[in-house]
Structure 1
Amino acid sequence: MGRENEPHDRSRTSSTASSDAAAADGGTERRLVAGWEGRYYEDFSVGDIYKHPYGRTVTETDNVWFTNLTMNCNPMHFNEAYAAETEFGERLVDGTFVIALAVGMSVVDVSANATANLGYDAIRHHAPVFHGDTIFAESEVLDKRESSSRDHVGIVTTELRAYNQDGDLVLSLERTPMVLKRSHANPSAAQPTGWPEGIGTQPEDLS
């Protein structure tokens, strides 16, 4: 499959030396350890495939609420009596929900550090999704290139594929985010992405 990209280790903060010293004296080592921050532009290689974690079971509530929120008036999604008379014999999950779910599942690996999504292309629904189906998703890197107008990002194109619990391909699409370069990001164990400065445990708290 693809090459594994190891998370960039930013866990050795300025407080680590004092923590190591405490451990050497028989104390308990305490240190700030960086978690997964997502991939930066430099971390992508064409041909890599990321199988996104967890999977997600689709419920009737998901389908009904999403259909109502988006004002989708096709009775296939909310009228059981109507759907029972169709070739499927039951309601179908709204296809745009399946798209949103699969894209959301891919963010942890593909676009956690994106500054914008430029487009969604070649969207195909290969099979219906029903209440109770569990969706799994993976992304394959198709292309990457430097941005011609922004030095701090690069452009990455991936194919996103979603499967049900039986291994049937239910969705595929291409998406192209602009992804921040590592050299322009400055997350740390003390201030990971999304955290305001100074919140929670700080290096000086460990000295």
Structure 2
Amino acid sequence: MSQYRFPAYVQIGKQRYRERFGLDFEDFTKGQLFRHRPGVTISQQDNKEECINTLNQAMLHFDDYYAAQTEFGKPLIDTTLIVQHLMGMIWKTYNRRKKILGWGKIAMVAPVFGGDTLYSESEVIELQAGDKHSETGLVRVAICGLNQDKKVVCEMGCDLLIYKRNHLPFSANGY
């Protein structure tokens, strides 16, 4: 069966298929822009739980009275929660990654509040194929987080090692 008939699946036997997520390194080109959907609405309760889980004691995230005295007027969503959600939204596109090599940038450029919905977009900034024997290539990605009003709230950049075609572990043996 042709892989193009069911591009999101790999045939692993007669009448047997395995879902496939992510693009191979060879599928990426500089300048590609991906809109990752669906969005995620973050509640103030999500925010409080993230602060508890990460031992974040900044009152700006969970104390309504304190936050009302600041320029924001209400509690801000914790940055780690925003980054987690934005990265989670891009996973289908970049799921064939071996690892995240590092972050070039994480910048919160506008406030995020409980009840806001986040959307993620990513752009391929640079590609490095490595040598012909390498199982991965480097994909440098700029990630933009937007709220429900299409306002940019977060800008990030990261380097990912993405498996080249037919090099993903378990890609041929049915796992």
TM-score (norm 1): 0.74
CA distance in structure 2 between the aligned counterparts of 1:95 and 1:10, rounded to whole angstroms: 35
From the CA coordinates, give the structure whose radius of gyration is larger: 1
3-state SS in 1 of match to 2:37: coil
Between the two proteins, the alignment pairs up a number of residues equal to 170
Aligned pairs for 1:1-207 (under 5 A) are 8=7, 11=10, 14-15=13-14, 31-110=15-94, 112-147=95-130, 151-185=134-168, 186-187=170-171, 191=174, 195=175
3-state SS in 2 of match to 1:55: strand
Cα deviation for residue 122 of structure 1 reads 2.2
CA distance in structure 2 between the aligned counterparts of 1:14 and 1:158, rounded to whole angstroms: 35
Segments of 5+ residues of structure 2 without an aligned counterpart are none
Cα deviation for residue 7 of structure 1 reads 7.3
Cα deviation for residue 35 of structure 1 reads 3.0
Q: RMSD over aligned Cα, in angstroms?
A: 2.3
CA distance in structure 2 between the aligned counterparts of 1:127 and 1:7, rounded to whole angstroms: 41
Deviations 1:34-56 (CA, angstroms, capped at 9, x unpaired): 43421111111111111112100
CA distance in structure 1 between the aligned counterparts of 2:7 and 2:88, rounded to whole angstroms: 23
Shift in CA distance, 164/187, structure 1 to aligned 2, threshold 3 Å: same
Question: Higher strand share goes to which structure?
Answer: 2
Question: Higher helix share goes to which structure?
Answer: 1
